[in-house]
Chain A
Amino acid sequence: MWHILKYIARRGRVTEPAPEPLEGTHRPAHPVHDEILAILGRALAIRQVDAGSCNGCELEINALNNPYYNIEGLGIRFVASPRHADMLLVTGPVSRHMELALRRTYDATPAPKLVVAVGDCGGTGGIFGESYASCGRVSNVIPVDVTVPGCPPPPAEILAGILAAVRARPPIEAEPATFEPGFN
């Protein structure tokens, strides 16, 4: 135990400031509303879904959990069930074999929900494209709020994309229908 504490004390803190939200990749620009941040309390629960990627994007998403990015310090955490999630972080291309599982995961996520498509494959289908086995980009299967290009995008850009999706949400008043009680 002494050895562990000594190791921790010697390395100190390495956490870096969060990046600015990604510009120009989200749906129609909505002004940033302080009340949105207030409503979310800057806390965000993310369910990651690999819908057919090569695992490259997953490696970089996992890197977000390292001490440099310290996303839990920003109030963001990855959760084990879509039932607990505010956001789906989806990598692609969506394979036809994952199409149904992705739709079900989306349906199991309570509204209001955000979807961020990570990587060139998630955003456009990438090098795999569409075929007998691939549905291509994520937005061919479920609605997407923000896409983060890159193959794979580095963690800071994924984080910028996540922040952009949170900021870009339209005011809650404009979308009362998104608060539907019960299962959806």
Chain B
Amino acid sequence: MEFFGLDCRFERFDAPLPIHGARVLAGQWSALALAVAEAKGRLVSLWGSDERATGDGFAVSAAYATADGLLWAKLGLDAAKPAYPDISRFFPAAVRMQRAARDLVGIEAEDAADDRPWLRHGAWPADYFPLRFGNTGQERFQAQADAYPFVPVEGDGVHEIPVGPVHAGTIEPGHFRFSVVGEKVLRLEERLGYTHKGIERRFMGMDTDEGARLAGRVSGDSTVAYAWAYAMAVESLAGVKVPERAAWLRALLLERERVANHLGDLGALGNDAAFGFALAQFSRLREDWLRLNRECFGHRLLMDCVRPGGVARDLDADGCAQLRRQVADIAREVAELKDIYEEHAGLQDRLVTTGRATPELAQRLGLTGLAGRASGQAADLRADFPWPPYDGLAVTACTHRNGDVAARVAMRFDECFASLRMIDALLAGLPGGSAREPVLVMRDGAGAGWVEGWRGEVFVALETNAQGRIARCHCHDPSWQNWPVLEHAIIGNIVPDFPLINKSFNLSYSGQDL
């Protein structure tokens, strides 16, 4: 297929969603970025790879979401001087991805305005690239001095508050640099990469079954989304169609993961606005939810339940009945708690207008997923490209336009009810048959997976080598797009509201640090 009048043929992957891939030429690389931006498409991901093992030099890949599905464009780069045209002019979200690609593979975005390292701190030197051919990833380096040039803010009464990497609560590590006047935030600059643990290097050389375990641990709260996107990538590479029952069970698991996270966040958000009652009640409901996960699927967070070819464990009639009963109970409780949220003036006062990301800003910066939908960006893969079993569930993307903490809270209530409805429908109509197919992995193949996780779209690009093992696996978290928007949402708010605003986005550190 051809897209945007570009003279290059995109091949469709054998995936349930429309995902297309092509190698592009240097001119087409920029032309495609421009065309997608003009058509109001989104940049999903950008990453690099070293293909010198097969004699092809380096490569940079970009994945775009368009009305026709996902386009994976790959541009070959010179082995001696790997550089490609910067696309952050079209997609601001590309900045950090391009910096990360340089840190890991050593490919440069030409004329990029920001060339500071992103994932590399002081743990390895600037001339070492872990994903390059010939490096094992087992190299050890003396820790180097780490002087990151934050953008300074100057003026009368301006001072800086550095926070992290170790935060005050039980959350992931990252550094926030606030420039403030009194209590008011003038600027926030994030610095992430603290949990970089070499996931992409770890994938290289693994067999695809082992890779499934690792993919499920890129971001612990989205383990089903990653495991499904990864499994989809393996299956599209192998040309395997999963049994209908397996697809239904996967959707059941994904929606259960979404509800679990929303229950947790709704409680935590209430708590961050000094409403402890909410935390106590929602965390109780979440615990009930996780305990039944363990009973029915063997794992509280549903890790390793989705495997290439299907699901690891089938569900019996008794489990189905238990799950349906629970859906009814939780729906009733959440409805009652929603009333309490809405009639609590003190709580609403903290949520409404706090941490706004306007629809215009969201569109320009590429805000995605749940946070994007709270700012009027009506993209939801389950509604836009309904793949089985979502095609039979009549999914519509829930949206709000205020883009404040209150809108992101309302999104969670809406999506919670929508997912509970879907879970019930999935359980009621669960088809029979097997829950797993054997998968024979192709050598020198490529595949891709794309799934709407609870936070947003999770994308996995997978390539195998001549031995049928993983040559490159790139996992993309929607947090890449959303972290930069948080820097804008906090402007003009007071420092004590930051935990609340941050929680309302609830972005992954591990998922973007890799």
Contacts and interface: CB of A to CB of B under 8 A. Distances in A.
Contacts of B400: none
A63 B194 contact: no
Given A7-B340, A132-B128, A134-B197, A62 B170 contact: yes
Contact of B283 (A48, A49, A67, A127): A67
Interface string B126-159: 0010100000011111010000000000000000
A151 interface: yes
Contacts of B284: 11, 14, 66-68
B195 A98 contact: yes
- Would you call the interface of chain B mostly helix, strand, loop, or mixed? loop
B202 interface: yes
B281 A97 contact: no
A93 B197 CA distance: 8
B336 interface: yes
In the A-B complex, the 9 residue pairs with the smallest Cβ-Cβ separation, listed nearest first, are A56-B220, A96-B123, A133-B198, A66-B283, A80-B168, A55-B220, A54-B220, A131-B198, A134-B197
Most chain A beta-carbon neighbours within 10 Å: one of B168, B213, B294 = B168
Nearest to B514: A133
A28 to B, nearest CB: 30
20 contacts: A3-B340, A48-B170, A50-B195, A55-B219, A56-B303, A59-B220, A60-B301, A63-B283, A63-B287, A65-B279, A66-B280, A67-B284, A82-B166, A97-B121, A97-B195, A127-B214, A131-B138, A131-B197, A154-B294, A154-B300
Interface string A64-85: 0111100000000010111000
- Could you say which interface size class chain A belongs to? 35 or more
Interface string A130-160: 1111100000000000000001101000000
B137 A132 contact: yes
Contacts of A52: 173, 194-197, 510
Interface in A90-135: 93, 95-101, 105, 127-134
Contact of A56 (B201, B217, B336): B217
Interface in B190-225: 193-199, 201-202, 213-214, 217-221, 223
Contact of A49 (B166, B202, B279, B513): B166
B130 A66 contact: no
Given A101-B166, A132-B123, A58 B171 contact: yes
B290 interface: yes
Contacts of B165: 97-98, 101
Given A101-B166, A154-B300, A7 B336 contact: yes
Nearest to B301: A56
Contacts of A132: 123-124, 128, 130, 137-141, 198, 201
B221 to A, nearest CB: 6
B277 interface: yes
A59 B264 CA distance: 9
Contact of A50 (B123, B171, B264): B171
A140 to B, nearest CB: 12
Interface string B215-245: 0011111010000000000000000000000
Contacts of B138: 130-132
A157 B137 CA distance: 33
A132 B217 CA distance: 19
B360 interface: no
B281 A101 contact: no
Contact of B173 (A51, A62, A96): A51
A134 B343 CA distance: 48
Interface string B111-133: 00000000001111000101000
Nearest to A131: B198
Contacts of A99: 123, 143
B202 A131 contact: yes
Contacts of A63: 283, 286-287, 290
A62 B220 CA distance: 13
Contact of A128 (B130, B139, B197, B223): B197
A57 interface: yes
Interface string A17-31: 000000000000000
Interface string B36-61: 00000000000000000000000000
Given A7-B336, A56-B303, 19 more contacts: A3-B340, A48-B170, A51-B173, A52-B173, A55-B509, A59-B301, A61-B170, A63-B283, A63-B287, A65-B283, A66-B286, A68-B287, A95-B123, A95-B197, A97-B193, A128-B202, A128-B217, A132-B130, A132-B141
A172 B217 CA distance: 40
A177 interface: no
A8 interface: yes
B137 A131 contact: yes
B287 A78 contact: no
Given A59-B220, A95-B196, A80 B143 contact: no
A93 B337 CA distance: 38
Given A66-B280, A68-B284, A101-B166, A129 B202 contact: yes
Contacts of A61: 170
A158 to B, nearest CB: 11
B172 interface: yes
B286 A57 contact: no
Contacts of A133: 123-124, 130, 137, 196-198, 201
B264 A7 contact: no
A80 B169 contact: yes
B21 to A, nearest CB: 28
B277 to A, nearest CB: 6
B481 interface: no
Interface in B34-86: none
A152 B301 CA distance: 9
